Amino acid sequence: MRPTIIICVVAVLTPAVATAQATSVLTGTAHVIDGDTIVVAGEHIRLEGIDAPERKQTCQREGKAWACGSVATRTLRGLISDRLVSCKIIGRDAYGRALGACSAGHANLNAAMVRSGFALDFRRYSSAYIPQEEAAKAARAGMWSSTFVPPWEWRHRAQATATRPSGQRTGPNGCNIKGNVNRRGERIYHLPGSRDYRKVVVNTAKGERWFCSEADAVKAGWRPRR
């Protein structure tokens, strides 16, 4: 009888593969920027598939404006509380920010924000959260209790109507994000439509500059206006 030869193959996970897998998920404490953007482990992360009102955006209820953008920011902050946040990084947006599906404890933050009524399914890029949006609309939760402009349309209007003193409409190459250095030497960038944007004058002699994207500003060491 011929001897039977058994060959065992052992799969070894190389360090390169292990690193790639490890960096696909970011976990840590989170700093909330607005209703759909957080910072975890030094990385700006946009909650993928949703769009929340901007911090300065208002909605209308019974003829009166209310700060739905600020409430959206507080809502996300409340969902996170003091828990660690874990984000599976899916890709990058046009501004270089990481796109993530994030959770705090057992709560899916992307879905929870839409379910709260303080974010919309970003249908231009995703349809994952349409059920949560329909539920929020039916319950008249959050923004659905009032009239509002979708965040993407609000941003477009703000950029179209923003004016700048001394003829400063855009910088080089049509870039319109203003990088300002304040009296304390802090480097702060201002987005079109944000408070004080019209008042800020870019003085290149002081080291101030224009940016074409938030990602460029952050990479250069500027932070958003608080």
Q: For residue 6, which amino acid is it?
A: I
pLDDT of amino acid 147: 94
Residue 5 belongs to some domain of the structure: no
Residue 102 near residue 47 (C-beta atoms within 8 A): yes
Residue 31 CB partners (closer than 8 Å, separation 6+):
38, 39, 40
Q: How would residue 63 be classed by pLDDT, with cut points 50, 70 and 90?
A: confident
Based on the fold, state whether residues 34 and 143 are members of the same structural domain. Answer: yes
3-class DSSP state for residue 34? strand
Question: Picking from 95-99, 107-111, 203-207, which range would have the lowest pLDDT averaged per residue?
Answer: 203-207
Work out whether the CA dihedral 149, 151, 154, 156 comes out positive or negative: negative
Q: What's the pTM?
A: 0.63
Domain count along the chain: 2
Whether the per-residue pLDDT at 19 is higher than 70: the answer is no
Q: Phi and psi at residue 116, in whole multiples of 5°?
A: -75, -15
Q: Give CA–CA dist 126/149, Å, rounded.
A: 19
Based on the fold, state whether residues 92 and 200 are members of the same structural domain. Answer: no
Whether the per-residue pLDDT at 50 is higher than 70: the answer is yes
Question: Picking from 2-6, 20-24, 105-109, which range would have the lowest pLDDT averaged per residue?
Answer: 2-6
Question: Picking from 122-136, 154-168, 204-218, which range would have the lowest pLDDT averaged per residue?
Answer: 154-168
Residue 6 belongs to some domain of the structure: no
Boundary of a domain, candidates 111, 129, 152: 152
Whether the per-residue pLDDT at 14 is higher than 50: the answer is no
User: What would the mean pLDDT of 187-202 be, rounded to a whole number?
Assistant: 86
Q: What mean pLDDT is reported for the chain?
A: 85
What are the tens digits of pLDDT across the range 144-176? 999 999 999 998 887 765 544 444 567 776 788
Residue 189 belongs to some domain of the structure: yes
Whether the per-residue pLDDT at 18 is higher than 50: the answer is no
Based on the fold, state whether residues 58 and 133 are members of the same structural domain. Answer: yes
Q: For residue 1, which amino acid is it?
A: M
Residue 54 belongs to some domain of the structure: yes
Residue 205 near residue 214 (C-beta atoms within 8 A): no
Helix or strand holding residue 192 (H, E): none
Domain of residue 207, residue span: 162-224
Residue 17 belongs to some domain of the structure: no
Please tell me which residue, 160 or 12, carries the higher pLDDT value.
160
Residue 35 near residue 75 (C-beta atoms within 8 A): yes
Based on the fold, state whether residues 135 and 203 are members of the same structural domain. Answer: no
- Written as one string, the DSSP assignment of 161-183 is H---GGG-S--GGG--EEEEE-T
Residue 54 near residue 155 (C-beta atoms within 8 A): yes
Q: Phi and psi at residue 5, in whole multiples of 5°?
A: -105, 125
Residue 10 belongs to some domain of the structure: no
- Written as one string, the DSSP assignment of 73-139 is HHHHHHHHTTS-EEEEEEEE-TTS-EEEEEEETTEEHHHHHHHHTSSEE-TTT--TTHHHHHHHHHH
CATH number of residue 126's parent domain: 2.40.50.90
